[in-house]
Structure 1
Amino acid sequence: MELRHLRYFVTVVEEQSITKAAEKLFIAQPPLTRQIKKLEEELGIDLFEKGSRPLKATEAGLYFYQHAVQILTHAAQATTMIKKINSVNTSVKIGYVSSLLYGLLPQIIYLFRQKNPEIQVELIECSTKDQVEALKLGKIDIGFGRLPISDPAVKRLLLRKERLKLAIYKKHPLNAYQEKGVYLSQIVNETIFSYPNTPKPNFSTTIQAMFTQLGLIPTKWTEVREIHMALGLVASGEGICLIPESACDIGMKNVEYLDILDLEAYSPVSLSMRNMDQSAYIPKILECIEEIYRTENISTNLN
């Protein structure tokens, strides 16, 4: 039994589909099916219920899944930490999504550097989705992101729920709600610009999921490359877009920002690290986060 066989099995359980698992693993479906059957023969048990749709693991399969996840997690952590221990220089590579640069992340990084001058900091821009693999491969040590992505090898701490704002052209009819704020149900028929148009999941899919959670279906949805393009189109009177509150500091001309009244209208800001990573820089970065949030009078889930 090889680690890749365990990875195949875990992915099939989580996706509840051979087809979806094959796509996620970037392998053809027939070889994946053969590997699962081979694993069942080696263990002498049925790992999945025959004919179930979606595919469901048997009781024995679920038990094996829990241990397979633990094995994969420990293997990934051991490999990464050995590389880390073998490193000559004391350094930390921090992954981040670009939108967080408009918020408190720069202050957090600056404070961390001031308090820990012996630690070399390298900032690496990458999406929340890419941060998961980057952490497991040792390309980054911690990551700041916005998506609620889960992986058994990665520990995710929700730092805060940042409110979303609605960006509109200054002469848009919705500007009448500048004082009151708006509900998402009021904008479903507007032209909504979302971003980015990168591989899913991303910030755009999070916004779509928010509408779906409320039982709403936007009728005019357009994805663009990044936030500046979306706001530029808003400034041209072409439509509206939803952005994190901190991004209002971009200062685009002719754009106004409205409060969104739905409780679901927020963007989670999270810190990700390798599961069971006991590196000394982790409590130090958490200390800096708490200090900056306290200074800015912002509530954090770390308290």
Structure 2
Amino acid sequence: MELRHIRYFMAVAEERNVTRAAEKLGIGQPPLSQQIHALEDELGVRLFRRTGHGVVLTEAGEAFVIDAKRVLDDARQAIENAQSAGRGEMGQLNIGFTGSAAFNPVVVNLIRKFRQSYPAVSLTLAEGNTAQLLAYLDDGRLDVAFVRLGNQSPAGVAFHHIAVEPMKLVLPTTHPLAKKRNVPLIALAQDPFVLLPREVSPTLNDVILGACRDAGFAPVIGQQAPQLSSVVNLVAAEFGVSLVPASVCQIRVEGVVYADIPGENISIRLALASRKDATTAKIANFLAIANESSLSPVAE
């Protein structure tokens, strides 16, 4: 039994007239009658009873029409689902982000816009450091990832610039310089710095150590933190001081203050990474929304 036979049957059942059904289907009346007869022969029952004004459904036809309608509805839905998936309007998108990227309003806005534009696409979010996220991107566990861009330039990965964030100092409120809005980095040369391990966040680590080096000192390495939010908590506990991306200042923890660094242009880049060979519509749609937000490719 072919799907077109069911469509022919339903057209005749709805019109109650073979000639009108043929016109509706855009085929001749004789071929349509032959197809209906073939369907009845295949089922071994009569579906229609002929009358002087057209046809009426038999009991078998009345029973068949219920399931036939469901089959056509299911087929129509299957087609719509396939087309929708092909356009990237449904399915799943796997997004990765570094701990600090999650605080950036650009990241939040992009994800919100995508959800509003494609509500049938479910999102899975995974947090990790940049090295982990790029590895997950490479093996297909992630579709896109928000990363802190340093010197990494793995083959097969495209980066789109999102933002350059200034770095801020985070100090315990008990620090002698805590009441100052601007604190020269050299003034902290004797303070221990709370850092993420380099293997966890090489870019952030390099930015902080490089800034201290440019200021004329090698920082005292203090307590290491497992994640960026823990850096702020450890500073609050007076383990030392640190530098964090400006968006992290949204973390309001009792016992810390944030300060600017005068005369310094210390910043860290945030980028959206995707595989160059990624061809799924969902990824293309996400990148399109990102591009609408004036993102630009990062030069290799």
**TM-score interval for Structure 1 and Structure 2 normalised by the shorter chain:** 0.5 to 0.7
Runs of at least 5 residues in structure 1 that lack an aligned partner in the other structure: 1-84, 295-299
CA contact (8 A) 1:129 1:147 kept: no
Q: Percent identity?
A: 25
More strand by share: 2
Runs of at least 5 residues in structure 2 that lack an aligned partner in the other structure: 1-85
1:215 CA drift (Å): 5.0
Q: Residues 150 and 235 of structure 1: is their aligned pair in 2 closer, same or farther, counting only changes over 3 Å?
A: same
CA contact (8 A) 1:184 1:262 kept: no
Query: For 2:250 and 2:147, how far apart are their aligned partners in 1?
Result: 19
Question: How many equivalent pairs are there?
Answer: 209
- Equivalent of 2:168, from 165, 168, 192? 165
**Mapping for residues 22-171 of structure 1, pairs under 5 Å:** 90-104=91-105, 105-148=107-150, 149-171=152-174
CA contact (8 A) 1:145 1:269 kept: yes
Question: Which residue of structure 1 lines up, in the alignment, with residue 229 of structure 2?
Answer: 228
**Residue 173 of structure 1 aligns to which amino acid in structure 2?**
P
DSSP 3-state at the match of 2:153? coil
CA contact (8 A) 1:198 1:225 kept: no
| Cα deviation digits, residues 236-285 of structure 1 (max 9, x gap) | 33321111111111110021110123544112111111124344334533
RMSD, matched Cα? 2.9
Q: Residues 185 and 109 of structure 1: is their aligned pair in 2 closer, same or farther, counting only changes over 3 Å?
A: same
Q: Residues 262 and 289 of structure 1: is their aligned pair in 2 closer, same or farther, counting only changes over 3 Å?
A: farther
| Cα deviation digits, residues 277-302 of structure 1 (max 9, x gap) | 344334533454466x68xxxxx657
| Cα deviation digits, residues 195-215 of structure 1 (max 9, x gap) | 246456353233223334555
DSSP 3-state at the match of 2:177? helix
CA contact (8 A) 1:143 1:271 kept: yes
Q: Residues 177 and 250 of structure 1: is their aligned pair in 2 closer, same or farther, counting only changes over 3 Å?
A: same
CA contact (8 A) 1:147 1:206 kept: no
TM-score after normalising by structure 1: 0.60
Question: Which residue of structure 2 lines up, in the alignment, with residue 59 of structure 1?
Answer: none
DSSP 3-state at the match of 2:134? helix
- Equivalent of 1:175, from 173, 178, 192? 178
TM-score after normalising by structure 2: 0.60
CA contact (8 A) 1:112 1:288 kept: yes
2:219 equivalent to 1:218: yes
